[in-house]
Structure 1
Amino acid sequence: MKLLALDASTEALSVAVVDCVRGYEVEHFEIAPQAHARRLLPLAAELLERAELTLADLDGFAFARGPGAFTGLRIAAGLIQGLAAGVDRPVVPVSTLAALAARCLHNDEHVNRVRVVQDARMGEIYTADYVRGDGATPRPLGDERVIRPEMLEIETANEYTRAGNGWGVVATERSLAPEALTPSEHWPHALDIARLAVPALRHGEGLPASQALPVYVRDDVARKPGGSR
Structure 2
Amino acid sequence: MKLLAFETATEGCSVAVWVDGDVRERFEIAPRRHAELALPWAEQLLAEAGVAKAQLDAIAVGRGPGAFTGVRLAIAIAQGIALALDRPLVPVSTLAALAAGAPSDATRILAAIDARMGEVYAGAFERRQGELVAVSTEAVSPPGAVALPDGGGNWHGVGTGFSAGEGALQGSLGGRLVGADATALPRASDIARLAATAFARGEALPPERVEPAYLRNQVALTLVEQQALRDSR
* Range class of TM-score, shorter chain: 0.7 to 0.9
Partner of 2:35: 37
Cα shift at 1:19: 0.7
Q: 1:119 to 1:79 in 2, by over 3 A?
A: same
Cα shift at 1:157: 9.2
Are the counterparts in 1 of residues 125 and 132 from structure 2 also a CA contact under 8 Å? yes
Are the counterparts in 2 of residues 99 and 188 from structure 1 also a CA contact under 8 Å? yes
5 Å-filtered alignment, 1:1-229, equals: 1-20=1-20, 23-104=21-102, 107-108=103-104, 110-135=105-130, 137-153=131-147, 159-173=154-168, 182-183=180-181, 186-221=184-219
Q: 1:132 to 1:222 in 2, by over 3 A?
A: closer
Aligned partner of 1:9: which letter?
Answer: A
Aligned partner of 2:16: which letter?
Answer: A
Q: 1:172 to 1:112 in 2, by over 3 A?
A: closer
Are the counterparts in 2 of residues 114 and 131 from structure 1 also a CA contact under 8 Å? yes
Are the counterparts in 1 of residues 146 and 169 from structure 2 also a CA contact under 8 Å? no
Are the counterparts in 2 of residues 64 and 73 from structure 1 also a CA contact under 8 Å? yes
Are the counterparts in 1 of residues 123 and 136 from structure 2 also a CA contact under 8 Å? yes
Cα shift at 1:36: 0.6
Aligned partner of 1:28: which letter?
Answer: R
Q: CA RMSD in A?
A: 2.3
Quote the Cα distance in structure 2 between the aligned partners of 1:64 and 1:164.
15
Are the counterparts in 1 of residues 107 and 127 from structure 2 also a CA contact under 8 Å? yes
| Dislocated runs of 4+, deviation >3 Å | 170-176
| Partner SS for 2:219 | coil
Aligned partner of 1:160: which letter?
Answer: W
Quote the Cα distance in structure 1 between the aligned partners of 2:109 and 2:5.
23
| Partner SS for 1:166 | helix
Aligned residues: 213
Q: Percent identity?
A: 42
Cα shift at 1:50: 0.3
Cα shift at 1:172: 4.2
Give the TM-score, by structure 2 length: 0.84
Cα shift at 1:118: 0.8
Cα shift at 1:153: 5.0
Aligned partner of 2:197: which letter?
Answer: P
